[in-house]
Amino acid sequence: MKNVIQKIFLVSIFALSLTACRNEAETAEEKAQEMIENADEVKVKEDKVKIENADGSETKIKYDENGNVEKVKTDD
């Protein structure tokens, strides 16, 4: 009985960790897309996007080879 409970516990922790990692990746891409849609001025280069807002802040988004968000940097 104890062995069965341990296996169920390990499987549920593994499933939870996979779900948590997947949601973070989606959130970064959704957040970047939302910033681009709400920006006043957007400049696009090969793998980078520079966003300028009305309040003077700038955000730079860098993408990797697969098109996923690699880094987001905000300058106030």
For residue 69, which of 39, 36, 43, 40 has the smallest C-alpha distance? 36
pLDDT of residue 20: 57
Residue 4's CB: how many other CB atoms inside 10 A?
8
| Secondary structure of residue 76 in the 3-state scheme | coil
Task: Read off the pTM.
Answer: 0.59
61 dihedral zone (left: phi>0; alpha: psi -120 to 50; beta): beta
| Tokens of residue 52, six digits | 């300028």
| Tokens of residue 37, six digits | 């849609």
Domain ranges of the chain: 2-75
- For the chain of 76 residues, list the mean pLDDT of each consecutive stretch of 10: 90 79 63 86 91 89 89 84
pLDDT tens digit string along 40-51? 899 999 889 999
